[in-house]
Structure 1
Amino acid sequence: MGHVDHGKTTILDYLRKSSVAAGEAGGITQHIGAFSVPLASSGKTVTFLDTPGHAAFLAMRQRGANVTDIVILVVAADDSVKPQTLEALKHAKAAGVPMIVAINKVDKEEADIQRCKQDLARHGVEIEDFGGETQVVCVSGKTGKGMDELEESVVTLSEILDHRADTDGAVEGWVLEATTKKAGRVATVLVRRGTLKPGCVLVAGKTWTRVRTLRNEGGFAVPQVGPGMPVEVDGWRDQPVAGDEVLQAETEQQATSVVDFRDEKAEREKIAEDTEAINENRRLEQERREKEKAAEAAAKRVASVSREDASISASVPGADAEEQQSGQVTVPFIIKADVSGSAEAVSAYIMSVSNPLIMPQILSSGVGAIHESDIDLAHAAQGHIIAFNLPDDPDMKALAEYRGVKILENNIIYRVLDDVKAVLENKLPPIVTQRVLGEAEIAMEFEIGVGGRKKVKIAGCKVRNGVVSKGARVRVTRIGEKVYEGTINSLKNVKKDVQEMRKGTECGMGFEGWEGFEAGDQIQTFAEISEKRKL
């Protein structure tokens, strides 16, 4: 466990002489990889769970700590302790799992091993150098430096802790990951107790299976699997969920009855939650109505008080009230990912961008390729589809484009958030402000002849501030109350038509569709500025 890009997978690659890191999108592990590694020095086999380090994969990292016997905390020598390092520490302590610290990248010039040890000690890790019990091993995942010592530390700590498991009796374990392949629904199961063989009936969460085949991490079929070994199990009736406990049932009938009972229990809990949510919504609606009544009463009191606006810039009147009345905008998303852990992480991650104006809404979250039903749902809800770590499907992309549904494809978790932010920002209403350009006061009113007998009322004005322009937006107030908002359609200096008049000058002003002005009215010309909102 450890922070993103601190070299967890690279260390594991060296131990098993493979190259998983090179195949990871963006160089980061996107789901839990479970691998059994025979150690050359001791001849023993150790199962490693390689957990993602990015912040979005919090639940997966927590799950990894809960099913392990020993945590190897990887800290980069050139980067020291980081936020996800502290999260990993918290999960290991909460799960009560003993820990070994591997300080990686010690071959780099900027490596500072002493600083790493001091930072670890400052955050509550009692390392051996400072009188504690936690072993610290300096390693390099690229050169192999310290790897033998790391293997020895793992084996020694395991022997001291005397880890044992019963190979007889009913099988118990955990679902580490779940996905859909050509063979059907499969789950990576870590066996905790018993011996798993083809033909066993397993229950996990709200689904069950009669095991058809068992495959190791290399994809090869194996006859049986004992405690501490990861294996891929197929034949599930429904998609299992990462983190579910796996238990063996005696018969298919027993497995079915267990799943039915769990479904009924979940349905009862859902009804209770819905009832509670309805009551809460009613209470909030009542409070909102009371606040609106109070706000209306306050607005009436304020409207009766005269006020002067001497500032050159002002915000749009009533904009905040309009936003409050319109409420929070929701933008629907459908999430499809390669494995259930990734779908869970993406769902939680994109909800972190919610704010009072707008929030993402998860319509559905599932595993596997995008289907026509997903596009239909997104089209009906005017939503978007997030395809995370999925192979390219030109047919579905063409159908989505035809239906006007946008598919956000990505295989790196932090870029998903950028895509979602861009969608939400496009849905946000712009920030519209009014900048006052000029101010004038009506001194008198008179009439002028236009086109023969027709008379038009003109306001004789003195410009007090700024610039007054023909065609500009204008607001006229009388004793603090707005009496007109529109445009200036006529601007004259003596008898000449002019385009603008500046501070200290006198002019005649006509308004589009309005002649109800009086001497003493205040005039403001303004420009509306629209800015795109940012999350």
Structure 2
Amino acid sequence: MTNDYILDAETAALIAEEYGFQVNQDDNLGLDLFPSEDSTDLKVVKPRAPIVTIMGHVDHGKTTILDYLRKSSIAKGEHGGITQHIGAFSVVTPKSKKKITFLDTPGHAAFLKMRERGANMTDVVILVVAAEDSVMPQTVEAIKHAKNAGVPVIVAINKCDKEEANPDKVVADLSANGVDVEDYGGEVPVVRISAKTGMGMEDLEENIVAVSELQELKAEPKGVPVEGWILESNVQKGLGNASTFLVKKGQLKPGAFLVAGTTWCKVKLMRNEFGKKITVAGPSTPVEISGWKSLPEAGDFAIQAKKESVARTVVDNRIRRKQMMDEASQIDEMNQRRIKQLEDAKRDETIQEYQRQGLTMDDIKELEPELFENEKQEKKDVFFIIKADVSGSAEAVSQSIEGLGNDEVGSKVFRS
């Protein structure tokens, strides 16, 4: 440690105390909001609709399945027919008349984090695999996310109406990738369907209802602060900062104060997936809300605050804690940079001393090769600006871009 080494707050406090000084630290960062424990009181909890996430490889027919269930045509409205962000929809199934909330997650590689979020906030995962393509890279990732989330899986082998369909091969490939399918004596149901023709869709619905009922899903609809997840967020013309919010517990109503990450909102407007205004949203209900002071991050967990002053204080505390963490990391970077500068200066002095003795650079490299071990070309960064419709898409693209590069050229994304 040198005289220009920067100490972090904890180390500085310990040294000051060793010398008999009293250290005063800001203790006003303690107020925060945390999820409450789920109640087991049967008088309080009530049955709720299951949250079902549809996962799988791109273009394997995930959105087409939702289209069939809710008699709409989302796929035609997506760019290139590919889902670009998480969609949340509550539907009453045609046969069982049960309410189910579906999450449709993107299937292509750029949206890894969004698929992870889909699995982590769901009760059942429907793994869609095209009968003619079988298991693909994103199928394997979806299997991993479902296992990590610890939720039951239903396999839907789609496009079984095609001549080139080979559902038996799909079953074998899934088993080889760790899916314990019923066809081979396991516990994971496998349903052969065609979302285009409707083949097997009633069987899929029955399996969803059966698997959900086995879990006995319940939540507290009243008397507790609202909790839930931010599925997506964007700025809408005439509405301002808005987000899609999935309620976990409690009743969300206009005027409620929500805190998510480092922002908060007073709920101004609530709309369902059809754009219709609603005045209350209970557990397992997706709803679009406006009134955020700034855009929340997709995947953030939101909790209701009692009043505006609490929401403001919690957000201010979180921002200050984040700043402190950022400053601590910057201190580490500065210290490492100064240590490297000292090492470089010492190395240059050694090389100059050898040169004064008449040695060439080749002589020095042969005599002390360790002096040149860390010598390499300075890496250049290419900067990108991302424009997207929703925050989750921007994050996924950003992660893909920042993973590009080699030892000579890297990629970075400008952040506001």
TM-score (norm 2): 0.79
Decide whether aligned partners of structure 1 residues 303 and 336 sit closer, same or farther in structure 2, where only a CA change above 3 A counts.
closer
8 A Cα contact 2:377 2:408, kept in partner: no
Offset, 1:299? 4.1
Q: Which residue pairs with 1:102 in the alignment?
A: 156
Tell me, yes or no, if structure 1 residue 65 matches structure 2 residue 108: no
Q: CA-to-partner distance for each residue in 1:440-485, whole Å, 9 max, x for gaps?
A: xxxxxxxxxxxxxxxxxxxxxxxxxxxxxxxxxxxxxxxxxxxxxx
Question: In structure 1, what is the equivalent of residue 107 of structure 2?
Answer: 53
1:13 counterpart = 2:67: yes
Question: Which amino acid counterpart does residue 363 of structure 2 have in structure 1?
Answer: R
Bigger radius of gyration: 1
Moved more, 185-194 or 290-299: 290-299
Cα 1:38–1:303 change in 2 (3 A) is closer
In the alignment, is residue 116 of structure 1 matched against residue 167 of structure 2? no
Does 1:214 pair with 2:270?
yes
Tell me: CA distance 1:289–1:25, structure 2 relative to 1, closer, same or farther (3 Å): farther
Q: 2:225 aligned with 1:170, yes or no?
A: yes
Question: For residue 243 of structure 2, what is the amino acid of its counterpart?
Answer: A
- Shift of the alpha carbon at 1:300? 2.3
Match of 1:268 in 2: 324
Write the letter of the residue equivalent to 1:176. Answer: L
Read off the aligned partner of 1:181 and give its amino acid letter. Answer: Q
Q: Report the 3-state secondary structure (helix = DSSP H, G, I; strand = E; otherwise coil) of the residue aligned with 2:228.
A: strand
CA distance in 2, matches of 1:139, 1:288: 66
C-alpha displacement of 1:334: 2.0
Amino acid at match of 2:396: A
Asked whether the 8 Å contact 1:15–1:39 carries over to 2, the reply is: yes
Distance in 1, matches of 2:360 and 2:147, equals 54
Q: Which has the higher strand share?
A: 1
Structure 1 match to 2:86: 32
Give the counterpart letter for 1:243 in structure 2: G
Q: What secondary structure is seen at the aligned counterpart in 2 of 1:15?
A: helix
How far apart in 2 are the matches of 1:281 and 1:11? 54
SS at match of 2:173: helix
Amino acid at match of 2:399: A
CA distance in 2, matches of 1:334, 1:75: 35
Distance verdict in 2 for CA 1:165–1:286, change over 3 Å: same
Could you tell me how far 1:325 is from its partner in structure 2? 6.2
The one-letter amino acid of 1:178's match is S
The C-alpha deviation readout for 1:405-453, integer Å capped at 9, x for no partner, is xxxxxxxxxxxxxxxxxxxxxxxxxxxxxxxxxxxxxxxxxxxxxxxxx
Q: Which residue of 1 aligns with 2:189?
A: 135
| 2:413 pairs with 1:362 | yes
Whole-Å separation in 2 of the counterparts to 1:350 and 1:8: 26
Q: Secondary structure at 2:284's aligned position in 1? A: coil
Task: Tell me by how many angstroms 1:166 deviates.
Answer: 1.0
Instruction: Spell out the pairing of 1:393-404 with structure 2 (5 A cutoff).
Output: none
1:28 Cα deviation after fit: 1.3
SS class of match (1:37): strand
In structure 1, the gaps of 5 or more residues are: 305-320, 366-535
Q: Contact 1:333/1:364 (CA < 8 Å) preserved in 2?
A: no
* CA distance in 2 between partners of 1:288 and 1:115 (Å): 60
Determine which of 376, 384, 402 is the counterpart of 1:351. 402
Counterparts of 1:170 and 1:290 in 2: how far apart (Å)? 60
The alignment status of 1:158 with 2:209, answered yes or no, reads: no
Paired residue secondary structure (1:337): coil
Does the CA-based 8 Å contact 2:401-2:412 persist in structure 1?
Answer: no
Q: 1:41 to 1:363 in 2, by over 3 A?
A: same
Matched-pair contact (CA < 8 Å) for 2:57–2:107: yes
Residue among 280, 288, 305 paired with 1:232 = 288
Deviation per residue, 1:58-89 (Å, 9 max, x gap): 11000000111100011111111111111111
Which deviations, in whole Å up to 9, do the C-alpha atoms of 1:484-530 show, x marking residues without a partner?
xxxxxxxxxxxxxxxxxxxxxxxxxxxxxxxxxxxxxxxxxxxxxxx
CA distance in structure 1 between the aligned counterparts of 2:169 and 2:340, rounded to whole angstroms: 52
Q: Distance in 2 between matches of 1:20 and 1:283?
A: 57
Cα-Cα RMSD: 2.2
Unaligned runs of 5+ in 2: 1-54, 367-371
Cα pair 2:403 2:411 within 8 Å, conserved: no
Matching residue's letter, 1:54:
H
Selected match of 1:333 from 377, 384, 402: 384
What amino acid does structure 1 have at the position aligned with 2:106? P
Matches of 2:345 and 2:82, distance apart in 1: 49
Describe the shift of the 1:10–1:231 C-alpha distance in structure 2 as closer, same or farther (beyond 3 A).
same
Distance (Å, rounded) in 2 between the aligned partners of 1:5 and 1:290: 59
8 Å contact from structure 1 (residues 166, 227) kept in 2: yes
Residue-by-residue CA offset, 1:36-61 (whole Å, 9 max, x unaligned): 11101011111111000111101100
Post-superposition shift, 1:102? 0.5
How many matched pairs? 347
How many angstroms apart in 1 are the aligned matches of 2:196 and 2:177? 28
- The answer as to whether partners of 1:335 and 1:364 remain within 8 angstroms in 2 is no
Counterpart of 2:311 in structure 1 is 255
C-alpha contact 1:175 1:189 (8 A) present in aligned 2: yes
Please give the alpha-carbon distance, in whole angstroms, between the structure 2 residues aligned to 1:85 and 1:237: 37
Q: CA separation in 1, counterparts of 2:346 and 2:402?
A: 30
- Aligned pairs for 1:260-299 (under 5 A) are 260-285=316-341, 299=361
Deviation at 1:283, TM superposition (A): 4.2
Change (3 A) 1:141 1:282: farther
Tell me if structure 1 keeps the 8 A contact 2:230–2:297.
yes
Q: 1:289 to 1:3 in 2, by over 3 A?
A: farther
Letter in 2 for 1:110: E
> Per chain length, whose mean CA-contact separation is higher, i.e. which structure has more relative contact order (CA < 8 Å, sep 6+)?
2
Distance 1:94 1:248 in 2: 28
Aligned mates of 2:343, 2:144 — CA distance in 1: 40
